[in-house]
Amino acid sequence: MTNEVRIILITAVLIIISACSGGGATNNSSSGAENATVAGIDANNDGVRDDVQRYIYATYPNSAKSRSALTQYAKGVQASFVNVSTARQAVVVEPQLLRAGACVTATMGSTSAITEIDARMANTPARVNARSTYEGYLEGKVFTIPAGDPATLCDVNPASLPN
């Protein structure tokens, strides 16, 4: 299967998961304020919504490598939702998002965590719409999925983390 076909399939699956689950997973610890806007709340301004960050840390308390990779991925998704308002911007963000997804896969050996983060990121109708708009900007464009050593894919080299 070519990289282009993989990208199309991954994108289709992510959109279907979001749509079928009513916009993604709900997070019972999220407040109305956290879900009032597409951007949500990011109190520490690290590029990851606080509810998603709490989920990552609660789900992977014993793996700094997993937390780092998933945080990188969540930052990319958040950027695609709130920092993209043109096709040109989407073309800049998409390779970063693909690199982050490849980092998660290389670090964790699976894409299941990506699916969960995607569902949590698109957990309101406005966020599902933001994802759809972003995907629309990428229509007809082809990107390759990066491969290689996690040290080159990840913002933080997993080998430098304790667990």
Average pLDDT over residues 98-121: 93
Measured distance CA(103)–CA(109) in Å, rounded: 9
Better-predicted residue by pLDDT, 4 or 103: 103
Measured distance CA(81)–CA(101) in Å, rounded: 16
pLDDT at 36: 82
Measured distance CA(126)–CA(61) in Å, rounded: 30
Is residue 47 within 8 Å of residue 54, measured between CB atoms? no
Instruction: Please give, one letter per residue, the 3-state secondary structure of the chain.
Output: CCHHHHHHHHHHHHHHHHHHCCCCCCCCCCCCCCCCCCCCCCCCCCCCCHHHHHHHHHHCCCCHHHHHHHHHHHHHHHHHHHCCCCHHHHHHHHHHHHHHHHHHHHHHCCCHHHHHHHHHHCCCHHHHHHHHHHHHHCCCCCCCCCCCCHHHHCCCCHHHCCC
Tell whether the model's pLDDT for residue 104 goes beyond 80.
yes
- pTM > 0.85: yes or no: no
Tell whether the model's pLDDT for residue 7 goes beyond 70.
no
Model confidence over 15-69: pLDDT tens digits? 444 444 334 444 444 567 788 889 899 999 999 999 999 999 999 999 999 999 9
Is residue 82 within 8 Å of residue 130, measured between CB atoms? yes
Measured distance CA(29)–CA(110) in Å, rounded: 26
